[in-house]
Amino acid sequence: MGRPTDAEGVAMTDVRDQYADYRDPFYSQIGERFETFEEMRRRGPAFRQDGNAVVTTTRAAAERVYRNPQIYTSKFGPIGGAHRPLIPIEVDPPDHKTYRKLFDPMFAPRTIAALEPTIRSTVNELIDGFIDDGGCVFDEAFAVPLPTRVFLTLMGLPLDDATELLEFKDGILRPGFREGIDLADKEAVDRVNQAIVRRTYTYFQELIDDRRRGVRRDDVMQQVIEGEVDGRRLTDEEIIDACFLLLIAGLDTITNSLTLFYTQFANRPDLRHEIASNPAAIPSAVEELLRWETPTPQVFRVAAVDDDLCGFPVKAGDFIIVDIGAANTDPAFQADAGELDFEREPNPHFSFTGGIHRCSGSHLARQELRIALAEWHQRIPDYRIPPGTELVWPPGLRSVENLVLRWD
């Protein structure tokens, strides 16, 4: 099966293709990146990269894009090889507002607060499984299973499906990487991706059909199936397009954040001891690490009209790459932006993006990260990365794999 087409039969361009030309000698997803962002900002609030790709470098430029959806549209092409735009992240006003009214309550603070005992229990159950071993491969033992179990429980998806759903997530966000395919072989990568996309659509369609035949359940999946917009029920396609987004967001973002946070803690005993000795600092530490690490490095838009982007000329049709990491570390916004400061207050970072598309799952992410850090550092306050450990930085969103931790 080839690349999906729109209603007129025109081949749809995947966001990976539009982003593929964003190559820069100063840019890297790996390691500490403040100097990288400083070099980017020396070019101005934005710069043009290979044709019609425009990269923002400052907080002000990111804010202008976020706050003007009529200028910078979210119709930028399917994410992860999807055949249709994902709901609501690729929907513009006024439809976007209607979808958000439906989905936001599912992840509201009161809803997420009720999950605290379940999350805390899951964290400690996982720690019980390896604490006496004196070490673990952090991503495999903790950072992947924790958000996976919490998300599947919240959604009402079978825990036995975790392995398959994680395969879907990787095939969408990192096609070919797990299979060891040369990522320069676009045809081979595309084949892997499209096979996973089809399986994902089939999985959720079968789940929808099973739910409609079975007993009603009280979970997010049921709320999506029964959801209404403008007085009508969501179509199966709308349900699947929303679930597609929930899948990749729910199974990847928190894992990535945990691996980045613990890499930082393992290399910075001062930061680790700060939260181990003062659990009250954990909420602020989470916000500061989200700002500094920026697990979701970029978001995309398309210029609907010509615009002056903080002094940089943008043309209608330009593909806009909002570099969130650069915005989060802009010294013009915070003078000490190049320092990690767990006492930073306020800390209005863009790690959950901004404007109308601000992440609905931010409350869940914060809850999981805070509980994970609190419970872990109460039980394992000191740990290290053994010498010779080779960290793996996979493609896609920013994360670390093969994070071996040891403790006495």
Joined together, the tokens standing for residue 377 give 């550092």
Sign for the CA dihedral angle at 295, 358, 146, 197 comes to negative
Provide the 10 A C-beta neighbour count for residue 22: 16
293, 322 contact by CB (below 8 A): no
Q: What is the DSSP string of 139-162?
A: IIIIITHHHHHHHHHHHT--GGGH
pLDDT score for 28: 62
Whether residue 24 has pLDDT greater than 50: no
pLDDT at 5 > cutoff 70: no
Residue 344 lies in a domain: yes
Question: 307 pLDDT exceeds 80?
Answer: yes
> Looking at the domain assignment, is residue 5 inside a domain?
no
The string of DSSP codes covering 65-101 is: HHH-TTTEES----STT-SSPPTTTT--TTHHHHHHH
The number of distinct structural domains making up the chain is: 1
- Alpha helices, H only, 109-252: 109-113, 116-128, 138, 145-155, 162-173, 186-213, 220-225, 236-250
Q: Is residue 9 part of a domain?
A: no
What CATH number does the domain containing 235 carry?
Answer: 1.10.630.10
Task: Write down the pLDDT at residue 3.
Answer: 38
pLDDT band, residue 27 (cuts 50/70/90)? low
Whether 6 maps to a domain, the answer reads no
HSE toward the beta carbon, residue 389, CA cutoff 13 A: 21
Q: Token pair for residue 121?
A: 């229990």
Specify which residues 357 forms β-bridges with. Answer: none
334 or 13: which leads in pLDDT: 334
Mean pLDDT check: name the lowest of 3-12, 310-319, 353-362: 3-12
pLDDT tens digits, one per residue of 240-279: 999 999 999 999 999 999 999 999 999 999 999 999 999 9
Least confident of 17-21, 32-36, 156-160: 17-21
Please name every residue paired with 298 in a beta bridge, in sequence order, or none if there are none: 323
pLDDT for the residue numbered 16: 47
Which residue segment(s) compose the domain that 32 sits in?
A: 15-406
What is the residue whose two structure tokens read 């039980």? 379
Which pTM was predicted?
0.92
pLDDT, tens digit, for every residue of 55-107?
Answer: 999 999 999 999 999 999 999 888 899 999 999 999 999 999 999 999 999 99
**Cα 28 to chain center, whole Å?**
17
4 is a domain residue: no
Lowest average pLDDT, out of 114-118, 211-215, 364-368, goes to 211-215
The C-alpha angle 377, 378, 381, rounded to 5 degrees, equals 45
Quote the CA–CA distance of 151 and 351 in Å, as a whole number. Answer: 20
For residue 1, tell me if it sits in a domain: no
Cα separation, 125 vs 83, in Å, equals 39
Strand partners, 299: 322
The answer to the question of residue 2 being in a domain is no
> Would the CA dihedral through 401, 364, 97, 347 be positive or negative?
negative
Model pLDDT, residue 51: 83
CA atoms within a 13 Å half-sphere pointing along the CA-CB vector of 80: 27
